[in-house]
Amino acid sequence: MTRETLLKIDGISKSYPGVKANEDVSFSIGVGEVHALLGENGAGKSTLVKMIYGLVKPDEGTLTFRGKPFAPSEPSEARAAGVAMVFQHFSLFEALNVAENVALGMENPPPMRELAARIRAVSEEYGLPLDPARMVGDLSAGERQRVEIIRCLLQDPKLLIMDEPTSVLTPQEVEILFKTLRQLSSEGTAILYISHKLEEIRTLCDGATILRRGKVVGSCVPRETTAREMAELMVGATLTPPERRAGAKGEVVLGVTDLSAASPIPFGTTLKGISFTVARGEVLGIAGVAGNGQDELLLALSGELRVASDKIRINGRAAGDLGPGERRRAGLVAAPEDRYGHAAAPDMSLVENALLTGAIRRNLTHRGFIDWAATRGFAEEVIQTYDVRTPGSHVAARALSGGNLQKFLIGRELDQSPEVIVINQPTWGVDAAAAAAIRQAILNRAAEGAGVVVISQDLDELLEIADMFAVLNEGRLTKPRPVEGLTIDQIGLMMGGAHGMEVAHHVEA
Amino acid sequence: MLRLEKRPIPSRFWLYATPVVAVLLTMIAGGLLFALLGKNPATVIKTIFWDPLFGEFAWYLRGQLLVKAGPLILIAIGLSLGFRAGIWNIGAEGQYIMGAICGAGVGLALYPTESRLIFPVMILAGALGGWAWAMIPAILKTRFNTNEILVSLMLVYVAETILAKASTGFLRNPEGAGFPGSRSFSGSSFPAASNPELIAGSGLHWGGVFALLMGVAAYILLQRHILGFQIKLAGQAPRAARFHGVKPERLVLLCMGLSGALAGLAGMFEVTGPAGKISIDFNVGYGFTAIIVAFLGRLNPLGIVLAGFIMALTYVGGEMAATNLGLPSAAIQVFQGMLLFFLLGVDVLTNFRIRTTLLGVK
C-alpha cells in the first residue's frame, strides 16, 4: 500500500532532566492513514505528539508536514497548518452549551446561529449525533468527546491526533467513533491514534509504530500482526525471564495479611485486603500502573502509615503498629519513590541524609548523641561502594543528579544489613548503567538472605529481578505467582482492566 | 532584567553576611527616617549603637545591655527551635507574662517565709506557667489542626488581660494603699524570692546566666543530638522527617512547650529582678522582639546570643535617643522592625542568586 507521505518525523529527540523522553524517533504517516502509536506508560508517546501539536519543542530532529518543514511553536500554529488534537482529558466548560464551547476554541468564531448549523451539519455527516444547544454539563463522556472531535473537524484537519480516545467510551460509542474515523480516513484525513489497547488497534489502524523507553522498537501492520507480537514489542524482548537462581527459599521474613488502609494522601488509593509473604532470598516484584496504591503500600510497609499490629509481620514479629524507626530496628528498610523530599532531605548534606535512615541499624547515635565521624564514614562508604558521583559527602542532596542520588539512597538502605528491603521505583529516571548497578545490588542482598519487595512500573525490570510477580490494581494485590514460566498472556490477565495489555489474553482464549 | 536563580547549594557567605548587610541597610533606611523627623541621622545612629558601649554613661548602660539581652536571648533560643522545625510560636510575649505571673504567684503565696528553696521553686513555676500557656496552641494544633500562629498570638492579649487582673486584683500588694501592682521582690523586702544582680554593675542576674547556659545547651542539641537533627529535618523536609520516624505531633508539643517554658523563665527572672514586681505594664515586648533576635541570629544559638546583644543595643540606645534627642519611641520600634524586614529580604540571597539577563539574550 503506497500513500503520499503527509507527516515525516525524522530523528526526533527530547530530554527532560534525568530522562530521555524521545530518542531518535523516526516514522512517517501517509495521507488518510490511520497510524497507531503504541507503547506502555512512559514510553514517550505523549511527548512525541505534544511536539507535533506545538506544545513541546524537540531538542533534535525535524518534522516535515505536507512536504514542508514543520516546527510549530504553539498549538495555534499547528492548527493553522492542519493538525488537530483530541486530548484524553477534555477542556470544556460545563456551564456553556455545545456551540459556545466550540466557539471558544476557534480563532474567529462565526455568528452563533451559523456555527450551530455547521455543527449540526458536521455531526450528521460523520454520524456523531450532537445537539449544539445542549449544555455540556448534561452530556456523557462519549458525547463530550464528540464535542472535542467536532471542534477539530470544523478546522478541516489533515491530521487528527487522538490520545487514548476509547478509555472513556462504552463499547457502542467505540463502534460509532471507529465508523467516524474510518470515514475521515477514506476522505483523506490521516489519524494518529495513541493507545495501548491492542485489539482496537488491530481492527482500526493501517500501520503502527511501537515505542519503548523513548525509542522506536518496531513497526508493523496491525492487521497482519497478533496482539501478542505487538505486546512483546511494547514490553521488550526480555519477556523470557533470565535464569532464576535455583536456591532453596529460606523462612518467611515479611508477611502481610489482609492489609487494608485508607490513604493518607489526598485523592490517594485505599489499600484493600493485601496479602503476601516474602521469604529470605526471594524478590517479590509488584507491577501496576501508577496511582494504584504503590505509594500507600510503601508507606504501610515503611511504617509511616500504621495499621493493626498483626497485619504486618517482620521476622515473625507483629509490626503493623510500629513506626519507621522501630521497623528498621526489626530489620526492615524502605526506599520511597520520591527522592527529593521523601527519601532524602534535599537541602541537607549526604552525611545528614545518611543519618536519616542509617542512625538505628548502623549505631550512629549513642544515648541520642550523634557520632558524626561514624556517620560521615557510613556516607563515604555508600558513596564509594555504589559509585556515587559527588565532590564529597558534605554536598547537599539536591546538588546530585537524579541517578546519582538514587544510587546513594538505595545504597544507604542496602548497606544496613537489612533482612527485609522494600523499594518503590528503584530505577525511575536513572540512566541504564546506574539502573543495572542498582538492580545487581538488590539481587546481591537477596542472595545474602534478605527478602525483597520491589514495586515498579517497569515490567522489564520486574521480570529481570523478581522471583515472584504480583500486580497492584486499584489498591488490590493479585496473588503472587512465580516469574518462572510466566507468560505475557498471564501478565496481561493479572493486570486486568486497568492496563492496556488485558487484551493479550483474548488471543489465547 | 533581574532574575532570581536558585543556588544548587545554599551560600555560606550570604548565610553569615546577611545579618551584617541587614544591620547596615537598617542604619541607612533608619537614618533616612530620622532625617525626615528632623534629626541628624549620624547623631541618632551614634546614640543608638555607639554611646551605650563607649559613651559618657557607658559604665551604667553596659550593664543595662545584659539586662535587656538576657530575656531576649532566653526567649529567642526557645523560639528558634520551633522555627527550625516549622512551628511558629508567635505568642512568646504571652508565655512570658504567664511565666512571670506563675513564678511571682508562687513566691507571693509564701511571703514572708524565708527559705533557700523558694527561688528554685519559683523558677520551676515560671517555666511551667509559660509551658502551660504554650500548650494551648500546641494541643489545639495537634488535635484540631488550628493555626498555631493565630492562636498563640491571640493568647498574648488574653495573658495581658490576666496580667492586668493580677496587678489590680489577685496579686495586688495588700499594703500598697490600693495602688495596682504586687509586692516588691527587691532584695530588702523579700530576699528569698529576689533575683539580684550577681556581680555589681554587670547587669548579670540569674536570667542572664540561664540565657547563656541555654544558648550552649541549644547549640549542643542542634549540632550533636538526634533530637536537634529531627527538629531541623522536620522544618526542611516534613515528609522525610516522617520517613525518618518523627511524629509531627510530638515535635509540635515539644517545640511549643520548650519555647513556652523558656519564655516563662524569662518572665519570671524579669519580674523578680529588673522589674521587681507584677504591674499592669510589666511586659515591654521582649516576646515579640525575640522573634527578630531569633532570625537575626540565623536561628543559630550562638548567633542568637550575639543578636540578643545587638538588639539590646537598639533598646538601650533607642531609649537614650528618645530621652536625649526627643525621638518618638515609635520611631525606634520602626527601626527595630526594619531590621527584621531587611534581614528577611537579604536572606533570599542565601538560596538564590541574582542574574541579570539582557533582553533577547538568554
Residue ranges making up the domain that contains A76: 5-239
Band (pLDDT 50/70/90 cuts) for residue A504 is very low
Contact assignment for B226 to A370 by CB distance below 8 Å: yes
CB atoms within 10 A of CB A79: 20
Nine-digit cell string for B188: 530588702
- In-domain check, residue A11: yes
A228 with A256, same domain: the answer is no
d(CA A472, CA A436): 24
Grid cell locating A56 = 513541546
Q: Report which of residues A291 and A379 the model is more confident about.
A: A379
| A426 part of a folded domain | yes
Please give the span between the terminal C-alpha atoms of chain B, in angstroms, as a whole number.
11
Tell whether B50 is covered by a domain: no
Cα B160 to its chain centre, rounded Å, is 17
Q: A342–B245: do the CB atoms touch at under 8 Å?
A: no
Can you give the C-alpha Rg of chain B in angstroms? 22
Separation of alpha carbons A101 and A106, rounded Å: 9
Instruction: Provide the residue type at B64 as one letter.
Output: Q
Which residue intervals of A337-474 are DSSP H helices? 350-358, 372-385, 402-414, 432-447, 459-465
Examine the pLDDT at B301 and tell me if it is beyond 90.
yes
- Which CATH number goes with the domain that contains B288? 1.10.3470
CA distance A402 to A395: 14
End-to-end CA distance of chain A: 32
Closest CA–CA distance from residue A332 to any residue of chain B (Å): 13
Given this model, what pLDDT does residue B147 score? 94
Min distance A69 CA to chain B CA atoms (Å): 25
The edge-to-edge listing of strands for the beta sheet with A60-65 is A19-30, A5-16, A60-65, A68-69
Helices (H), B1-115: 12-36, 41-49, 51-54, 58-84, 92-110
User: Which range marks the domain in which residue B134 is found?
Assistant: 70-318
Beta strands in A135-228 (DSSP E): 159-163, 190-195, 207-212, 215-220
The reply to whether A232 and A280 lie within a common domain is no
**pLDDT at residue number A508:** 35
Residue B59 inside a domain? The answer is no
Nearest neighbour of B10 by CB, restricted to A347, A368, A369: A347
C-alpha cell, A501: 495489555
Of B229, B241, B243, the CB nearest to A370: B229
Query: Which of A141, A208, A199 is closest to A170 using CA atoms?
Result: A141
The answer to whether residue A1 scores a pLDDT higher than 80 is no
For A471-504, the DSSP string reads EEETTEEPPPEESTT--HHHHHHHHGGGSGGGGH
Q: What is the pLDDT of residue A239?
A: 42
Model confidence at A17, pLDDT cuts 50, 70, 90, reads: low
Asked whether B98 and B159 are in contact (CB, 8 A), the reply is: yes
The chain B residues in contact with chain A (CB within 8 A) are: 8-10, 224-227, 229, 232-233, 236-237, 239-245, 247
Averaged pLDDT for residues A118-136? 86
Interface with A, mutate which of B220, B244, B254 (most A CBs under 10 A): B244
Q: Which residues pair with B93 in a beta bridge?
A: none
Q: Give the residue-averaged pLDDT of A284-295.
A: 82
Instruction: Tell me the range of A75-79, A264-268, A491-495, B358-362 where mean pLDDT is highest.
Output: A75-79
The stretch B154-163 carries a mean pLDDT of: 96
Residue among B229, B243, B247 whose CB faces A336 most closely:
B243
Return d(Cα A324, Cα A333) in angstroms, integer: 9
Residue A375, in any domain of the structure: yes
Identify the three-state secondary structure at position A220: strand
Query: In terms of domains, do A326 and A436 share one?
Result: yes
Strand A365-366 and strand A369-370: pairing? antiparallel
The torsion defined by the Cα of B72, B78, B80 and B86, in degrees rounded to 10, comes to: -140
What confidence score (pLDDT) does residue B16 get? 83
Q: Who contacts B60 (Cβ-Cβ below 8 Å, separation ≥6)?
A: B201
What are the phi and psi torsion angles at B108 (to 5°)?
-65, -30
Interface test with B, best of A340, A342, A351, A364 (most B CBs within 10 A): A342
Q: pLDDT tens, A343-372?
A: 999 989 999 999 999 999 999 999 999 999
For residue B284, what pLDDT is reported?
87
pLDDT > 70 in chain A, percent: 88
CA–CA dist B279, B185 (Å, integer): 12
- B11 found inside a domain: no
Contact A296, A261 (CB under 8 A): yes
Q: What average pLDDT score do residues A310-323 get?
A: 94
Please report whether residue A423 resides in a domain.
yes
Q: What was the pLDDT predicted at A196?
A: 65
pLDDT category at B179 given cuts 50, 70, 90 is confident
Q: Point out the residue among A304, A356, A370 whose CB comes nearest to the CB of B224.
A: A370
Closest residue by Cα to residue B280 from B181, B208, B193, B143 = B181
Q: What are phi and psi of A419, to 5 degrees?
A: -100, -30
Give SS3 for A39: coil
Question: For residue B179, how many other CB atoms are within 10 A of its CB?
Answer: 10
Nearest Cα of chain A lies from the Cα of B223 at a distance, in angstroms, of 8
CB proximity list for B119: less than 8 A, separation 6 or greater: B107, B192, B193, B194, B195, B272
Give whichever of A263-272, B292-301, B344-353 has the largest mean pLDDT. B292-301
- Burial readout B340-349 (b: 16 or more C-beta within 10 A, e: otherwise): bbbbeebbeb
- B262 close to B77: Cβ distance less than 8 angstroms: yes
Distance CA A56, CA A52 (A): 8
Question: A253 exposed, middle or buried (CB, 10 Å; 0-12, 13-18, 19+)?
Answer: buried
Rounded to a whole number of angstroms, the distance from the CA of B183 to the nearest CA of chain A is 45
Residues with Cβ < 8 Å from A363, sequence gap 6 or more?
Answer: A371, A374
Q: Which of B267, B98, B106, B101 is nearest to B193 (CA)?
A: B106
Residue A242, pLDDT above cutoff 60: no
The reply to whether residue B8 touches residue A398, judged by beta carbons under 8 angstroms, is yes
Q: What is the mean pLDDT of residues A182-187?
A: 91
Is residue A502 pLDDT above 70, yes or no? no
Report the alpha-carbon distance of residue A504 to residue A144 in Å, rounded: 29
Interface test with B, best of A296, A339, A348 (most B CBs within 10 A): A348
* Residue A500, pLDDT score: 36
Cell of A313: 509481620
Residues A270 and A215 in one domain: no
Alpha helices (H) along A53-170: 75-81, 98-104, 112-125, 141-153
Q: Residue A246 falls within a domain, yes or no?
A: no
Is A245 a domain residue? Answer: no
Do residues B62 and B313 make contact, with C-beta atoms less than 8 angstroms apart?
no
B161 lies in some domain: yes
Which of A239, A273, A304 finishes a domain?
A239
**A8 by DSSP, 3-state: which?**
strand
- Averaged pLDDT, B263-292: 92
Least Cα separation, residue B16 to chain A (angstroms) = 17
Is the pLDDT at A194 greater than 80? The verdict is: yes
- pLDDT at position B177 is 83
Peptide bond into A165 cis (omega under 30): no
Q: pLDDT tens digits, residue range B139-155?
A: 999 999 999 999 999 99
| 8 Å CB contact of A346 and B237 | yes
Is residue A179 in a domain? Answer: yes
- Which chain A residue has the Cα nearest residue B223? A370
Could you tell me if A355 and A322 lie in one domain? yes
Set of cell numbers at residue A479: 496473588
Cβ-defined contact of B239 to A341 (cutoff 8 Å): yes
| pLDDT at residue B79 in the model | 97
Task: Give the C-alpha separation, A302 to A293, whole Å.
Answer: 14
> Is B338 a member of any domain?
no
pLDDT in tens, A212-240: 888 888 888 888 887 777 777 776 654 44
Whether residues A352 and A314 fall in one domain: yes
pLDDT at B337: 86
User: If you average pLDDT over residues A392-405, what whole number do you get?
Assistant: 86
Q: Which range has the top average pLDDT, A475-489, B40-54, B65-79?
A: B65-79
Determine, for residues A341 and B227 on separate chains, whether the beta-carbon distance falls below 8 Å.
Answer: no
A324: number of Cβ within 10 Å: 22
Asked if residue B160 is part of any domain, the answer here is yes
Residue type, A70: F
Tell me the C-alpha distance between A251 and A258, whole Å: 20
pLDDT tens, B314-336?
Answer: 888 888 888 888 888 888 889 88
Give the confidence band of A506 by pLDDT, cuts at 50, 70, 90.
very low
Number of domains in chain A: 2
Kindly state whether residues A204 and A307 are assigned to the same domain.
no
Look at residues B115, B221, B216, B107 and name the one whose alpha carbon lies nearest to residue B171.
Answer: B107
Same domain assignment for residues A227 and A256: no
Q: Using 50, 70 and 90 to split pLDDT, how confident is the model at B211?
A: very high
Query: What are A335's strand-pairing partners?
Result: A423
Per residue in B33-56, pLDDT (tens digit) is 999 998 899 999 988 888 888 888
pLDDT of A498 over the 50 cut: no
Distance CA A481, CA A466 (A): 10
Average pLDDT score over chain A: 85
Nearest residue of B to residue A371, measured between CA atoms: B224
A497 — pLDDT class (breaks 50, 70, 90): very low
A20 and A92 both lie in a single domain: yes
d(CA A135, CA A398): 49
Closest CA relative to residue A301, chosen from A333, A339, A330: A333
Task: Pinpoint the alpha helices (H) of B225-278.
Answer: 226-236, 238-244, 248-272
State which of A211, A239, A267 marks the end of a domain. Answer: A239
Looking up residue A35, the CATH number of its domain turns out to be 3.40.50.300
Q: In which band, very low, low, confident or very high, does the pLDDT at A505 lie, cut at 50, 70 and 90?
A: very low
Let me know if residue B109 belongs to a domain.
yes
**Cβ-count burial of A218 within 10 angstroms (0-12 exposed, 13-18 middle, 19+ buried)?**
middle
Give the total number of structural domains in chain B: 1
C-alpha A347/C-alpha A405 separation (Å) is 13
Q: Which of A302, A348, A357 sits opposite B236 (nearest CB)?
A: A348
Whether residues A165 and A259 share a domain: the answer is no
A74 Cα to chain B: minimum distance (Å): 19
Distances (CA, A) of B261 to A356, B103, B160, B254, B264: 29, 12, 18, 10, 5
Q: What pLDDT shows up at residue A171?
A: 63
Answer yes or no: is A469 within a domain: yes
CB A10 within 8 A of CB A170: no
For the ranges A158-167, A416-425, B50-59, the maximum mean pLDDT occurs at A416-425
Question: Closest Cα of chain B to A254: distance in Å?
Answer: 19
pLDDT number for residue A107: 77
Query: Is A101 part of the contact surface with chain B (CB cutoff 8 Å)?
Result: no
Compute the Cα dihedral for A400, A403, A406, A410 and give only its sign.
negative
Are residues A325 and B245, on separate chains, in Cβ contact within 8 Å? yes
- Which of B225, B236, B244 faces A370 most closely, judged by CB atoms? B225
Cβ–Cβ pairs < 8 A, chains A and B = 71
Question: What's the CA gap between B232 and A114, in Å, rounded?
Answer: 65
Contact indicator for A102, A178 with CB cutoff of 8 Å: no
> Is position B353 within any domain?
no
Beta bridge partners of B64: none
pLDDT digits (tens, 9 = 90+) for B80-107: 999 999 999 999 999 999 999 999 999 9
Interchain contact, B242 vs A398, CB within 8 Å: no
Residues A390 and A502 in one domain: yes
Beta-carbon contacts of A167 under 8 Å, excluding residues fewer than 6 positions away, are: A88
Mutate to test the interface with B, among A370, A372, A393, A422 (most CBs of B within 10 A): A370
Name the one residue in this structure whose C-alpha cell is 482529558: A89
- Give yes or no for residue A246 having a pLDDT over 60: no
By CB atoms closer than 10 A (0-12, 13-18, 19+), residue B110 is middle
Tell me, yes or no, whether A181 and A57 share the same domain.
yes
How far is B174 from A44, CA to CA, in rounded Å? 84
